[in-house]
Amino acid sequence: MTTAPHTEPATGFHALNLMPPLLEALDRAGYKDPSPIQAALIPVAMTGRDVLGQAQTGTGKTAAYLLPFMNRWRGGDPMKPQGIVMAPTRELAVQVAEEADKLSPSRHFRTVPVYGGQRFGRQMELMRLGCTLIVGTPGRVLDHLSRGTISLEKVRFAVLDEADRMLDIGFRPQIEKIMRRLPTKRQTLLMSATMSPQILKLAQRYMIDPEHLSMTPEVMTVDKIEQKYITVDEEKKFDLLVKVLERDKPRQCIIFVERKRTADKLYKNLKPHFPKVSVTHGDLPQPKRDKVMADFRAGKIICLIATDVMSRGIDVSGISHIINFDLPNDLESYVHRIGRTGRMGKDGCATSFVTPEQGEQLTGIEHLINRLIDEDRIEGMEAFTPRVKEPENKDKKMNPVFGRSKRKYTNRL
């Protein structure tokens, strides 16, 4: 009688049936176990089915959508890309391309990022060396298409990454033009932090019977992040910032402001106190923004002052603190800003400066994240009209059905 050889059940990425070069690349990258979105998305996408995935940056979504495509790739004409990822910002396009390079199964699998602000010539040179996957912002991809410098005829795999953000920016017409030029025989994956009716409409138009996968982003990221607010008068915000930085000593932090002008002014004022500070916003030339991001990623910059353009897609694992120097006007930006910390299961801390007039805005944020935010204080920095202190609330959760807390704000009276 013969007995079957005893084999251990495969675990981690091995259980996902990925080809050996990918397992080796994952090993080199130091990824031991698939994150929840990877464990959920990879097996479905490997069947070739379209997927509508609700997940934020920071959950490992990029590898989740790249690996199934890489696993299926078997060479082919290096001049004709087989995959395209569309992303809302240059920063995200660069990051996705870096992740693709990191996980690439072969030196013949080449990824080229294309985005505005960089010379066409440079991007064409890179494509001439071979391009399996294009990662680009919709505007620049379309520019290349109209110049005839990108061919989509062999594309079998398309991803709309951070689709909600792309629609917010107003990329819908460009996305639709590109989608209409893709071969119909393809797999389409759409990733979005939120599933609005507009997203579903886009999915309905360009996807075939997609499987919906939801990773409930608020619970995944926001719950792990310690969140606090400090009430402060507008004119004392700078002094408060210096005190918070001195007290909390962040490993790395992003200080979010609403206006580019505030960002520049803050940078000038903060530099004498903290030499490892830098600033980034949409008005700076792309090479300068790239340099700042590279320095931030390398840990040469400790405090980065940024506007919301940067709130998505920044993926720097050393970020321990987020400071909302200004509360965001758009509530959802709060979640995206604080999601820059607490990456891949790490803890993080987010502190928001709230002026006495902004009580309602803070309530709106608490409602959105379904959680009360703790008050923090720094001696000598109290606002002239502080927010009324909250009666003790044990579990700090808001009732998801009945919503609002019973908080009161002096400024509402």
Which residues in this chain contact ligand AMP in the complex, by CB under 6 A?
31, 34-35, 38, 57-63, 99, 315, 317, 343-344
Burial class (CB in 10 A: 0-12, 13-18, 19+), 80: middle
State the residue for tokens 């490993």. Answer: 251
User: Of 177 and 251, which CB lies nearer to ligand AMP in the complex structure?
Assistant: 251
Q: Give the shortest CB-29-to-ligand AMP separation in angstroms.
A: 7
Identify the CA nearest to 324 among candidates 225, 399, 390: 225
DSSP state letters, 354-387: E-GGGHHHHHHHHHHHTBPPEE---TT---SSPP
In residues, how long is the chain?
A: 413
Q: Give the shortest CB-158-to-ligand AMP separation in angstroms.
A: 17
Token pair in block for residue 275 = 């030499």
Beta strands 253-256 and 277-280, pairing class: unpaired
Burial class (CB in 10 A: 0-12, 13-18, 19+), 400: exposed
Q: Give the shortest CB-40-to-ligand AMP separation in angstroms.
A: 13
User: Of 159 and 207, which CB lies nearer to ligand AMP in the complex structure?
Assistant: 159
Token pair in block for residue 133 = 């996957």
User: Of 113 and 359, which CB lies nearer to ligand AMP in the complex structure?
Assistant: 113
Query: Contact 327/297 with Cβ under 8 angstroms?
Result: no
Q: Give the shortest CB-220-to-ligand AMP separation in angstroms.
A: 10
User: Of 294 and 344, which CB lies nearer to ligand AMP in the complex structure?
Assistant: 344
Q: Give the shortest CB-35-to-ligand AMP separation in angstroms.
A: 5
Q: Give the shortest CB-34-to-ligand AMP separation in angstroms.
A: 5
The edge-to-edge listing of strands for the beta sheet with 374-375 is 277-280, 303-306, 253-256, 321-324, 348-354, 225-231, 374-375
User: Of 38 and 231, which CB lies nearer to ligand AMP in the complex structure?
Assistant: 38
Tally the C-alpha atoms within 13 A of residue 322's C-alpha that lie toward its C-beta. Answer: 36
User: Of 67 and 232, which CB lies nearer to ligand AMP in the complex structure?
Assistant: 67
Q: Give the shortest CB-57-to-ligand AMP separation in angstroms.
A: 4
User: Of 316 and 327, which CB lies nearer to ligand AMP in the complex structure?
Assistant: 316
